Chain A
Amino acid sequence: MKRLNLIAAAALTIMATATAMPTGLRAADTVSLPCVCELSGAGAVSGTNYRDGAKMAAEEINAAGGILGKKIVMTDYDTQSDAQTSRALVQKAIDAEAYAIIGTVYSGSTIVNMLVAQQNGVPQFTGSEAPNVTRQGNPYIFATSSSSAKGVPGLTPYFKDTLKAKKIGVAWVNNEFGKGGHDVFVNEMKGAGITVVADVPSEQGQADFAADVSKIKESGAEAVFVYLNEEEAARFLKEAKKQGLKAPLVGEVTLTSQKVIDLAGDAANGAYAHVGITVGANVPAVQEFGKKFKQKYSRDTDHNGLKGYIAVYAVKYVTEMNGSLDQEALAKKLHGLTLDVAKYPGMLLTTSWDKTGEMSRESFMTQVVDGKQKVIGTVPAN
């Protein structure tokens, strides 16, 4: 009887100790960083690159001893580019003891699933760039690239001073990503005294851009802001070439990405884009990353590969600053933090997060020349 009492007391003590531990603290032998990403469907290009960049970082960190001596375990959760599926998968990843969530990339998905991570107190490193994502007051969401609210204003001097455009056309995708960028851009143009003469929304997955290009041509726009996802951007460029659209085509992030260049072929030549980060940047660490990625996966990556990569390194550096696998401490520490690339080389560029989780760092202007993305200028961090 005494023995039974002893066992029961021991069990109760263990249970009490376990429940008394702060919920944010982890005591596992591994660090689970599940990648909830768009591995199929319309966002497969972005999601796959994001996942592969993150995996590369995880392998490097594991080879160097892991995070606080614990190995990173990265499991794939394919959202199929569907917002509701992504929500269910974030919950599933959290149920499987996620320390932090890596993903999602599609803003429409992140807006839906980030509430689940927030409710469970799990930090989430998203590849999304819609300004709405970091404007929800969610203390657990962190961008891995500047949102369009920070990126798009970087284009204003280009339209105003370099292209000296007075009339602008806007082709944008009617989803969370597109709406965010469109709204910021239209406001910026208004402030700069540039008139938007053609405002042309399109649907995600749209295949025929004949009418869109025709409307822009007819409007007399002197330059066009193209804010579309990769596949649609490639279709738009092909149609623009087919219809002989002469106005400069300028995008934010996607328009000069490698995938768009591959899909659009010759039609991509001459397109401009402002990109948060690119493997073509004249930064040795970034170029080295590009080489390693190509060697590992036998293909080039767009900016999403870099975003996934720095997400995992950010988790490592900040967790090690805290000295424990504490999710709440990780989220708190990141707000207002700057990781200097000289001290934290995995970040590739000096990177800061503000109190909303929005990110800021140096960015680049690019142009497609002979089927390759070429960096033509640097935009300071804002």
Chain B
Amino acid sequence: MAQFLQVLLSGLATGSIYALAAIGFTLLWQAAQTVNFAQGEFVMLPAFFVLIAMGLGLPLPVALLVALAVSVFVLGYLFKRLIVEPMKASKTGGGLPLVIATMSLAIFLKEGVKEFYGAEAQPYPELVSGGSWDVFGAIVSVTDIAHLAISLGVVVLLTLFLNRTRTGRAMQATAQNPDVAKILGVDTKRMVLYTFLINAALATLASFLITPFYLAKFSNGEYLGLIAFIAAIVGGFNQIRGALAGGLLIGVLDNMTATYVTAEYRAAVPLVLLIVIILWRPEGLLGTSEGRSV
């Protein structure tokens, strides 16, 4: 029982971080109808901004704020202005070329970090460090609880923002039907920009939380991007709550499989889950089916 509780909490803590990246997938899908295959690298990169800022002598809290600002600008604003907007404005209207462009961006970011910061993993400071609590015989790490609380807190705040504020509702209107939203006076371009900035901020937070255990390494995005993508599909690509559920489910399933079934094939579990969901419920666990005409 103690082991089950411990593994469950560890899985939920890691899964909640996957969920942050997965939500970014769903946000960009709804705002720009594109799948951002550089999302994993968006999680990898901010950790290096922190290391650079700390290398310049800034204390950790300031370095985190600087990294957040730089990440939101580079991975939110510049990503939209330099890659998404020009491709959406082209004859193809985004689509597959835009997806390929995000794949290229992923390679560029990964190789760029490798070139400028090296291929070796770097030590990275913990955002939350502390002892542990004894809960029904299970040693529960304060770090795990803090990660879970921060991630879920951010998701709740995001949901409240999208549902309870005027800007949030305008963003949702833009995602559902940009033409009608425009007629109703919504500044749709601004709303789409907000979505990109929020995605960058979520990826940055995920980076701050997960890198202390993954260590800062250029290749971190490969696994994180894949897991976040699977989490978004499993949960439902068009629902924030679906991405959250998908992230948590994969985090828990991964740890449970490694503990009680097999450690050797744990990496295959998310992929098996993906196949099952695609066959059984293609819209995802909490997603809704969308009509598309050709």
Contact = CB atoms under 8 A, between A and B. Distances in A.
B119 A44 contact: yes
B217 A211 contact: no
B215 A201 contact: no
Interface in A225-250: 231, 234-235, 238-239, 242-244
A215 B212 contact: no
B111 to A, nearest CB: 10
Given A48-B120, A263-B215, A243 B263 contact: no
Interface stretch (B80-88, B196-204, B252-260): B252-260
A263 B144 contact: no
Chain B interface main SS type: helix
A203 B223 contact: no
A213 to B, nearest CB: 9
A207 interface: yes
A242 B255 contact: no
B141 A201 contact: no
Contacts of A244: 132, 139, 141
A262 B121 CA distance: 10
Given A243-B132, A243-B141, A231 B267 contact: no
Contacts, number: 90
A243 B263 CA distance: 18
Interface in B216-233: 217, 219-220, 223
A39 interface: yes
Interface string A21-61: 00000000000000000011100110010000000000000
Contacts of B121: 45, 231, 234, 263
A208 B119 contact: no
B263 A201 contact: yes
Contacts of A231: 121, 215, 217
Interface string A196-235: 0000111101011011101101100000000000010011
Given A44-B120, A208-B254, A242 B259 contact: no
A208 B11 CA distance: 10
Contacts of A156: none
A262 B11 CA distance: 26
Given A45-B120, A244-B132, A214 B10 contact: yes
Contact of A208 (B14, B122, B217): B14
A157 to B, nearest CB: 29
Contact of B144 (A48, A203, A205, A242): A242
Contacts of B114: 40
A210 B7 contact: yes
A318 B120 CA distance: 34
B123 A265 contact: yes
B6 interface: yes
Given A201-B264, A208-B254, A214-B259, A40 B6 contact: no
B3 interface: yes
B108 interface: no
A56 to B, nearest CB: 19
Contact of B223 (A48, A207, A242): A207
A314 to B, nearest CB: 27
A269 interface: no
Contacts of A201: 263-264
B219 to A, nearest CB: 8
Interface in B255-276: 255-259, 263-264, 266-267
Given A39-B119, A243-B6, A243-B141, 13 more contacts: A205-B219, A208-B10, A210-B7, A211-B256, A211-B263, A214-B259, A231-B121, A239-B213, A242-B144, A244-B139, A259-B120, A264-B123, A265-B123
10 contacts: A200-B263, A202-B263, A207-B214, A207-B223, A211-B256, A211-B258, A212-B258, A218-B2, A235-B213, A239-B213
Interface of B: 2-3, 6-7, 10-11, 14, 114, 118-123, 132, 139, 141, 143-144, 212-215, 217, 219-220, 223, 254-259, 263-264, 266-267
